[in-house]
Structure 1
Amino acid sequence: MVKLVALYRQPQDREAFDRHYREVHLPLARRMPGLRRVEVARITGAPGGSSPYYLMAEMYFDDAASLEAALQSPEGRAAGKDLMGFAGEIVSLHIAEVVQES
């Protein structure tokens, strides 16, 4: 299993970010073919202090080929275009292989 991890730094307007993420972006992302699960977590801090991150989203796929196909699909391209439009300055994307599941 692999996952696409999106890390969002602190947005200027949290309320506007949360509204767009919840009402527009997440529904677009959930339409990607092959998506198995989505986890979204609000970052509340780091050991010993604060964190530069505000939100983390993890989108799970069966394998790297499924993830790549999802990103290249019309649904994936629509989600990517929306992401760059509302959070391009504050997001970083990472691909991770799940090596152990609980």
Structure 2
Amino acid sequence: MKMLALYTLPDDPVAFLAHYKAVHLPLVRKIPGLISANVTHVTRTLIGQDGNFLLAEMTFSDGEALKKALRSPENAAVGADAMGFAGKIITVMTGEVLDI
């Protein structure tokens, strides 16, 4: 299972990245059950709506691990931080990885 966070272009990309790296990612890494976290800096949109900046992908072993993570105090801290520095530019989704 994955949790995805899509950020659109912030007003100040340099300040955003500084906070993201120094504060937000260390909080994310404390989420229980997190197997991996990857962040992609979007450099170009080929098809679809332009203006995306970062895509964060967090992997969990299964749906139950993700549910536990979402209910954790560590995830609450991540959410509070995200709303503080990126509340208007973030979309968070969950999804199941398909074996296709």
Q: Please state whether the residue corresponding to 2:5 is helix, strand or coil.
A: strand
Partner of 2:6: 7
Partner of 1:96: 95
Amino acid at match of 2:98: V
User: CA 1:62/1:13 → structure 2, altered by over 3 Å: closer, same or farther?
Assistant: same
Q: Please state whether the residue corresponding to 2:32 is helix, strand or coil.
A: coil
Q: Please state whether the residue corresponding to 1:32 is helix, strand or coil.
A: coil
Q: Distance in 2 between matches of 1:29 and 1:83?
A: 10
Q: Distance in 2 between matches of 1:48 and 1:65?
A: 34
Amino acid at match of 2:95: A
Supply the RMSD in Å over aligned alpha carbons.
1.7
Partner of 2:46: 47
User: CA 1:48/1:96 → structure 2, altered by over 3 Å: closer, same or farther?
Assistant: closer
Amino acid at match of 1:14: P
Partner of 1:82: 81
Q: Give TM-score scaled by structure 1 length.
A: 0.91
Aligned residues between the structures: 100
Question: What are the ranges of 5 or more consecutive residues in structure 2 without an aligned counterpart?
Answer: none
Q: Distance in 2 between matches of 1:52 and 1:26?
A: 22
Q: Please state whether the residue corresponding to 1:11 is helix, strand or coil.
A: coil
* Structure 1 ranges of 4+ moved more than 3 A: none
Q: Give TM-score scaled by structure 2 length.
A: 0.93
Residue identity (%): 45
**Does 1:19 pair with 2:12?**
no
How far did residue 50 of structure 1 move? Answer: 7.7
